[in-house]
Amino acid sequence: MDLKVRVTDIPVTGWDLSYDLTPEETEARLVNIEKDLIRFFTPVQVRLKLERTGNRILVRGSISTGYLLTCSLCLEEFNIRMSEEVFSVFTPFPEEYIDGEIAAEDLNEEYYEGEEIDLWPLIREYLFLGMPIKPACRDNCKGLCPICGQNLNKKRCDCSSQVGHPGFSKLKQLRDSLPKK
């Protein structure tokens, strides 16, 4: 699906765009490191209104979808539904920027070069915006037992009772190392 829009095609009255990107289409656009993190189970629904003032294009709307993540604690897959409000402005790529004289301080500011704006980088940005850095399947995920690997959300294991509290064994070591009277 072509997600590029010719700036001059945007009517003064605004342009409503609606895309449904299938999971396959979306994943094909991701780089490998992203593909390892995320798996879509439902299309990415993009609903945008483009409005042009001179060479500035205001993009508003929403992006919503659902994807599977792997819990960083228990390694089970779980699903997330996301919906982000979009608000961004595209402006022509400034000449000075090439010399590194100005910095992009506004997060909602996107640049375009030439006659076209490419909506994919914007969509991609919003897709990953709400993604947790350390995904957890639930607030109180118990994770895996570090000794036997048992998923502690499903079943307890006996490892913890055998090992004892690490703090106590430290104390015992300390006591044993003290000179005896």
Q: What is the DSSP string of 21-55?
A: E-HHHHHHHS-HHHHHH-EEEEEEEEEEEEEEETT
Is 159 a binder of Zn ion (CB under 5 A)? Answer: yes
Find where tokens 């993604």 sit: 131
Is 68 a binder of Zn ion (CB under 5 A)? Answer: no
Total residues in contact with Zn ion, by rule CB under 5 A: 11
Q: Closest distance between Zn ion and the C-beta of residue 107, in Å?
A: 31
Q: Using CB under 5 A, which of 102, 147, 163, 171 touches Zn ion?
A: 147
Q: Closest distance between Zn ion and the C-beta of residue 133, in Å?
A: 15
Rule CB under 5 A: which of 104-143 touch Zn ion?
137, 141
Q: Can you read off the two tokens belonging to residue 73? A: 């604690």
Q: Using CB under 5 A, which of 74, 86, 123, 144 touches Zn ion?
A: 74
Nearer to Zn ion, 43 or 143 (CB): 143
Our CA dihedral for 73, 76, 81, 87, rounded to 10 degrees, sits at 50
List, edge to edge, every strand of the sheet that includes 109-112.
15-21, 39-53, 56-70, 77-92, 109-112
Find where tokens 């999971």 sit: 23
CA nearest neighbour of 18 among 31, 1, 33: 1
Q: Mark the segment that binds Zn ion (CB under 5 A) among 51-59, 85-93, 94-102, 159-167.
A: 159-167
Nearer to Zn ion, 1 or 148 (CB): 148
Q: Using CB under 5 A, which of 59, 71, 119, 127 touches Zn ion?
A: 71
Binding site for Zn ion (CB under 5 A): 71, 73-74, 137, 141, 145, 147-148, 150, 157, 159
